[in-house]
Amino acid sequence: MRACTAHRARVTRAFTLVELLVVIAIIGMLVALLLPAVQAAREAAQRLQCSNNLHQIGLALHEYHSATGSFPAGGGSCPTGPYYGTSWWIYVLPGLDETAVYNQYDKTGKQTGRAYQSTGWIYWPHDRAANGHNLKVLNRFSFPAARCPSTSFPMHEDRYNRGIWLFFPSYVGIAGSSNHRTRVNSGGNGWISSGGVLPARRWVRLDKITDGTSKTMMVGEQSDYCYTADNRKEFCSSSCAHGFTMSIWGGWSPAGGDTRTFNMATIHWRPGKDASQLYSSGCAANSPLQSAHPTGLNVLLADTSVHWVHESIDVTTLKRLADRDDGEVNDASEGGF
């Protein structure tokens, strides 16, 4: 007699609503725990790339020094007109693999056969002061070494709604500090110094960095916005919305006239994003160093090394780093550096 085998129906048990909510809560907790680690890893990689950018800029500055016998001036005036000349950025382009743009750029004001009134002033297409040739060369142009990957700035911005898309660098040349013997209080545009490696109208040689190349800044970060007391965002890069080519007025003097110094900074403040420290009128020399990185920023020293500066650094220490020959040499263990 064959045994009868009873077949039971297989029952599939579904998740209850409570169990589903518990699983979702656990996944949410895991994401919350992992997200800061992912963000921290991403920021660490971006900070390293920012440091590499500055190192490349340092090598390009030294390449220029090897070719000419000095570093470029932080800014100069236009040889053929009374308006704005070219910043130091243009002269490091060959060392940053941008030789083609460097060769196209009108550095003399008459390179193309037409005598322009400016070299570094490129926007306003119908302004007689603007260099129309350089505008065509640089509209929408950018170069990776001048952009910190953590920056909150857009790659290009048409700030004047005229179809002119300018590139704003994440870094600024160091002209000196407001403690240096060359300092001049220009009034509304703040303190102006020639004590650094990249001041206006001065071409500094390595042997003039008597404090030591490993103790003197050449370039620092300005890769984020500043904020007013009511939390309004302010653009506080020393390029002052005019792009990386902008420099100084033809009749520039620290003591009077148009004393603005574009793409250069005289260190007067500790690093920060307080918009009240920017200027009292126009674009000024003392826009503070700051960055989109948490707690600090990168700076390039004159020996091409890059160091992390904490935002709490003592301002006197930062000023000593900004000057090349003040005799006040920092020890690496001093606050924040």
Which tens digits make up the pLDDT trace of 60-91? 999 999 999 999 999 999 999 899 999 999 99
CA distance 81 to 222: 30
Residue 113 domain-assigned?
no
- For residue 118, what pLDDT is reported? 93
> CA torsion, points 39, 44, 48, 49, in degrees to nearest 10?
0
Please indicate, yes or no, if residue 240 is contained in any of the structural domains: yes
Q: Name the domain count of the chain.
A: 1
Q: Residue 270 carries which side chain, given as an amino acid letter?
A: R
Say which DSSP state 257 is in: S
In a domain, 162, yes or no: yes
Mean pLDDT for all residues in the chain: 87
Q: For residue 329, tell me if it sits in a domain.
A: no
In a domain, 16, yes or no: no
Closest Cα partner for 86 from 104, 110, 67, 108?
108
- 184 has a pLDDT exceeding 60: yes
Alpha-carbon span 172 to 65, nearest angstrom: 18
Does a structural domain hold residue 129?
Answer: no
In tens, the pLDDT along 125-179 reads 567 788 989 999 999 999 999 999 999 888 888 766 677 888 999 999 999 999 9
Query: By residue range, what is the domain housing residue 218?
Result: 39-72+145-322
Q: Are 309 and 288 in contact (CB under 8 A)?
A: no
Does residue 154 lie in a domain region? Answer: yes
Rounded to whole angstroms, the Cα distance separating 20 from 26 reads: 10
DSSP letter assigned to residue 274: B
Query: Which pLDDT value is given to residue 333?
Result: 45
Cα–Cα distance measured from residue 112 to residue 294, given in angstroms and rounded to the nearest whole number: 45
pTM value is 0.86
pLDDT value at position 335? 46
